[in-house]
Structure 1
Amino acid sequence: MKQARQNWVDLRHDPLSGIETIRAHFTGHAYDPHWHDSYLIGVTEQGVQQFHSRRKQHQSRPGTVFMLEPEELHDGDAINAQGFTYRMLYLSQQQVEQQLSPLIEQGTQQRELSFAATLRDDQQLAYAVWHAFEALWHNHPEIIKDAALDRLFVQLSQHPLWHHRNEIINKDAVLAQQAREWLIAHHAENPGLQTMAQALNIDRFRLSRLFQAHWGLPPHAWLVQWRLCQARQQLAKGQPPVDVAAALGFADQSHLGRWFKRACHLTPSRYQLACTNLPDLA
């Protein structure tokens, strides 16, 4: 119980841009492997933030910029009792593509932008992330927020931070994509692996191995992450948690709440309060 009180997460939502800003502190284990549907760009403020992504272990220290792509699997831990503190921006894929495509080489708008590095020790970039966070966090006038975000995107465009994903298209990749799309289409039905395997005409053991190799999680765990991303979007729009739970295939509102708290360290109602002016629905 002592460790739980030492951990905290504070979130704010900019009403005009929709950008979420999070400042958090953790000791010990912070996050199980998970992913987001946004680009995450943050700065470690204090301590050492250790996490795995792209099949590597990373350690982000004070002043280091860390960057994660949509659906990039990662976890989080502290390496000592002091824990770590970070501040982070959640940027939608549309925002990043709209802002960065005009600033870098031609033709990028036709291809998905991808970070070339997970960590970056760059004082100017860290400064830009920090001030964009400050402008959004304290709800400065729009002209100041716009200027801070413009500075951030210019800094990102001036470094070799981006490359294009050139995924190898083969039979397994196509099948993995089909399995993903099938799960999304049938998410409210709580489908079993055997049902999915029969629909895709593949042995379920091969399907499970192929899916995890391509997406980093077993099908059921991946589906939970997708549901949680959808829940964040719907809660931010003011949808009642009970309706969100029913629409996304959770057993009930309590089931949604347990998964949401485990993944985000916030209850759905507390998250919604940070995103809207609605009364607490808990």
Structure 2
Amino acid sequence: MANDWLELRQHADTGIETIKAHFEGHAFDPHWHDSYLVGITLSGTQQFHCRRQRYHSRPGDAFLLEPGEIHDGDAPVEGGFTYLTFYLDDRWLTDTLQGLYDATPGSYSVHFARTLTRSPQLVRAIGDTFSALHNDEMKIVQQSTMDGLLAQITAHCQWRKRVPSQIQSAAIAHRARDYLYAHMGDNVGLSDLAAVTGTDRFTLTRCFKREFHLAPHAWLIQLRLAKARQYLAQGEQPAEVAATLGFADQSHLGRWFQRAYRISPAHYRRLCTNLPDVSRK
């Protein structure tokens, strides 16, 4: 859309990525992130699917998504929507919040009780933190707003115990996922995953979709895209990233990246690093 726009910054000290954007019509395809996503809708109506539900986020709403949660984005109302968001590293958030609780075991992880919430205090904390990081305020201001945000988040999260699943289908899905993590740049087939998990291709796909809500091939693409963001933010060239992660070529990576994030790999790299793009077009 001609009226769509996106601002992206990457905070130098923490690596936290801040995004402010406006979309009209279709915003982005279903995808997931490997970080916690925290944001607010500033104007219009943002429609998205997550946790098998459809949500409508309006001004004054905060949205909270966990790593791996699949979500999309659309503007169902004329004029589109504007939002701001940032991504908090899984390990950093868990370790930091554990300091606010007494003797929390390492086998627990942070779980957001609700995907969409209307809390003026949380919305204000998100907005203040975003402004401090996005505009590169003084370090003491940044850290103070981050502390304020973390204090607010504790009222909207729970500790969820990480326990090995006793359900056979979940165990199969998790073994397949671990294999894809270890071989994300390889030309992996369903037959390979079936052999690793000790089952057949059809059972494997059924178990995987039940656990992760995506077929193995679609989940692998999302994993590669998440890793591509990391490599690009570190300054690697799009062509190199595409080759490392098993995309057919740079154009193939670019098509998937644009569909998921509404920005090209080269543009994303430039925003994160301020380095010129010298790769082939």
Matches within 5 A, 1:1-282: 4-157=1-154, 159-165=155-161, 168-281=165-278
- TM-score w.r.t. structure 1 length? 0.94
Tell me the percent identity.
Answer: 46
Question: Which secondary structure does the structure 2 equivalent of 1:188 belong to?
Answer: coil
* Aligned residue type for 2:141: I
Q: Please, which moves more after superposition, 50-59 or 33-42?
A: 50-59
Following superposition, the deviation at residue 35 of structure 1 comes to 0.5
**Per-residue deviation, residues 179-206 of structure 1 (Å, max 9, x unmatched):** 1112222322222212322343311111
Following superposition, the deviation at residue 277 of structure 1 comes to 2.8
**Per-residue deviation, residues 51-102 of structure 1 (Å, max 9, x unmatched):** 1111111111101110000001111111211211100011111221122111
Question: Which secondary structure does the structure 1 equivalent of 2:195 belong to?
Answer: helix
**Per-residue deviation, residues 213-269 of structure 1 (Å, max 9, x unmatched):** 111110110000000000011111111212111111011111111111111111111
How many residue pairs get aligned? The number is 278
* Aligned residue type for 2:131: E
Question: Which secondary structure does the structure 2 equivalent of 1:86 belong to?
Answer: strand
Question: Which secondary structure does the structure 2 equivalent of 1:40 belong to?
Answer: strand
Say what the alpha-carbon RMSD is for the aligned residues.
Answer: 1.5
Q: List alignment gaps of at least 5 residues for structure 2.
A: none
| Alignment partners' CA distance in 1, 2:277 and 2:237 | 10
Runs of 4+ in structure 1 displaced over 3 angstroms?
Answer: 165-168
| Alignment partners' CA distance in 1, 2:105 and 2:55 | 28
Following superposition, the deviation at residue 10 of structure 1 comes to 1.5
